[in-house]
Structure 1
Amino acid sequence: MRIYISVDMEGVTGLVDADDVQPGGRDYERGRLMMAEDVNAAIRGAVAAGATDITVNDAHGPMRNLLPESLHPAARLIRGKPKQMGMLEGLTPEHDAVICVGYHSRAGALGVLSHSFMGHEIEDMWLDGRPVGEIGLAHATAGAIGMPVAVLTGDDCACAEMAEWDPSVTTVAVKYARDRFAAELRPADEARGAIEEAVAASLSVPPKSSAPAAGPSTLAVRWQSASVASMLLGIPGVTATDSRTVEAQGGVPGLYRLFGVWMRVAASLTNQAPYC
């Protein structure tokens, strides 16, 4: 059984603030170790369920958060950027299931460290007219290549968002949002035990592959800055619906990769701190 694990940081056990998840933050070094402990719990669960091949993709920010020496030896690590498929780099049809560790709710939700990919630079996103963030877009992209999402961990708001997309996904709440930068925390050992148990139980039954999506989809993004939207119109296939919103059509995996290009353009035009 081949398992793919995408690891974000905002939804990791114990973390609630930008200083916990951004390089240079006063608690970042502790945060990256907490991140490793959550993913190691998921790896242990996968191994217990019989996984023989585990790929972990560091999917947060600079994508160099996980220290290789801190990772469980049963897994291989994809580290660094740029990556053509970003948070899903390395996911292939040969995998049997996807596990999302440390994920967070989308922009506009009152979840811990909620945002959609780029702090407040992205005001909203829609996939086929439905509001979407990192959770929904990852789920749709995995499904488009036939990969089921088996487990997601994060705060209770992230778990609720996943349930709205696919109630069959097992979710583990490691903290409960009190506000965007405050949460009631589960004890670390309890949270990691819950992650390990959920992954082992979910994978103990052979995951059912999702049916690849048929037909084109539409991805739309509303940016804070009209200059970003204007610059993106230079990319073939990108159209504007208003001065700050652009969209494109195509297969979901291709749209996911295209969206990565949009973010690199936006990053070159803006210099605003996330989470403010």
Structure 2
Amino acid sequence: MRIYISVDMEGVTGLVDADDVQPGGRDYERGRLMMAEDVNAAVRGAVAAGATDITVNDAHGPMRNLLPESLHPAARLIRGKPKQLLMLEGLTAEHDAAVFVGYHARAGVLGVLSHSFMGHEIEDMWLDGRPVGEIGLAHATAAAIGVPVAALTGDDRACAEMAEWDASVTTVAVKYARDRFTADLRPAEEARADIEKAVAAVLPVPPRASAAAQDQSTLTVRWQSASVASTLLGIPGVTSADTRTVQARGTVPGLYRLFGVWMRVAASLTNQAPYC
């Protein structure tokens, strides 16, 4: 059984602030170790369920947060950037299931460290007219590739967002949002024990109906900056909905890759800190 684990950082046990998740932050070094412990709990669960091949993708920020020596020896690590498939780099139809660890709610939701990919630079996103963030776009991309998402961990708002997209996905809330930088934390050992148990219990995942990779969808992004939107119109296939909103049509995996290009363009124009 081949399992793929995508790990973000904002939804990790115990973390609540930018200083916990950004390189150079006063608690970042502790945060990256907490990140590894949540991932390792998921890996242990996958091993207990019979997984023989486990890939972990470091999907947060610089994508160099996980220390290779801190990772469970049963897993291989994809580390660094750029990545053409972003938070799902390395995911293929040969994987039997995906697990999302440390995920967070989308922009506009009052969840812990909530945002959509680029902090305040992205105000809103829609996939086929439906509000979407990192959870929904990753889930839709995995489905189009043909891989079911088995489990997700994060705060309670991230879990609720996942349930809205696919109620069959098992979720583990490791903390409960009180505000964007405040949470009611579960004891770390308790939360990790639940991650391990949940992953072990949900695998293997029965085959599910998935969107055909060739189906066409529309991705729409509203930026904080009109300059970003204007510049992106220079990319073939990108159209304008208004002065700050662009959209494109294609397969979901193709749109996910294209969106990565949009973010690189936006970063070159704005260079803003993600939490403000």
Partner residue in 1 for 2:185:
185
- Deviation of the 1:88 alpha carbon: 0.3
User: For 2:215 and 2:142, how far apart are their aligned partners in 1?
Assistant: 15
Equivalent position SS for 2:235? coil
- Deviation of the 1:210 alpha carbon: 3.9
Partner residue in 2 for 1:195:
195
CA contact (8 A) 1:10 1:102 kept: yes
One-letter amino acid of the structure 2 residue matched with residue 211 of structure 1: S
Partner residue in 1 for 2:83:
83
Equivalent position SS for 1:147? coil
Q: Is 1:253 matched up with 2:253? A: yes
Equivalent position SS for 2:95? coil
CA contact (8 A) 1:220 1:245 kept: yes
- Total equivalences in the alignment: 275
Q: Is 1:57 matched up with 2:74? A: no
CA contact (8 A) 1:96 1:209 kept: no
Equivalent position SS for 2:9? coil
User: For 2:10 and 2:234, how far apart are their aligned partners in 1?
Assistant: 33
User: For 2:93 and 2:55, how far apart are their aligned partners in 1?
Assistant: 13
Q: Is 1:73 matched up with 2:65? A: no
Give CA-to-partner distance per residue, 1:182-201, whole Å, 9 cap, x none.
00000000000000000000
CA contact (8 A) 1:239 1:246 kept: yes
Equivalent position SS for 1:93? coil
Give CA-to-partner distance per residue, 1:73-121, whole Å, 9 cap, x none.
0000000000101100000000000000000000000000000000100
Partner residue in 2 for 1:207:
206
Partner residue in 2 for 1:25:
25
CA contact (8 A) 1:97 1:207 kept: no
- Deviation of the 1:209 alpha carbon: 4.2
CA contact (8 A) 1:147 1:210 kept: no
Q: Displaced runs of 4+ in structure 1, greater than 6 A?
A: none
Which piece of structure 1 moves more, 258-267 or 208-217? 208-217
User: For 1:159 and 1:84, how far apart are their aligned partners in 2?
Assistant: 26
User: For 1:117 and 1:207, how far apart are their aligned partners in 2?
Assistant: 30
- Deviation of the 1:235 alpha carbon: 0.3
CA contact (8 A) 1:14 1:185 kept: yes
CA RMSD in angstroms comes to 0.7
User: For 2:180 and 2:244, how far apart are their aligned partners in 1?
Assistant: 25
One-letter amino acid of the structure 2 residue matched with residue 163 of structure 1: A
Partner residue in 2 for 1:150:
150
Partner residue in 2 for 1:129:
129
CA contact (8 A) 1:96 1:207 kept: no
Give CA-to-partner distance per residue, 1:11-37, whole Å, 9 cap, x none.
000000000000000000000000000
User: For 1:64 and 1:104, how far apart are their aligned partners in 2?
Assistant: 19
Q: Is 1:92 matched up with 2:92? A: yes
- Deviation of the 1:215 alpha carbon: 2.2
Structure 1 residues not aligned, in runs of 5+: none
Partner residue in 2 for 1:138:
138
CA contact (8 A) 1:150 1:207 kept: no
- Deviation of the 1:45 alpha carbon: 0.0
User: For 1:210 and 1:79, how far apart are their aligned partners in 2?
Assistant: 31
- Deviation of the 1:271 alpha carbon: 1.8
- Deviation of the 1:207 alpha carbon: 3.3
- Deviation of the 1:211 alpha carbon: 2.1
Normalised to the residue count of structure 2, the TM-score between the two structures is 0.99
Q: Is 1:120 matched up with 2:101? A: no
User: For 1:251 and 1:210, how far apart are their aligned partners in 2?
Assistant: 17
Structure 2 residues not aligned, in runs of 5+: none
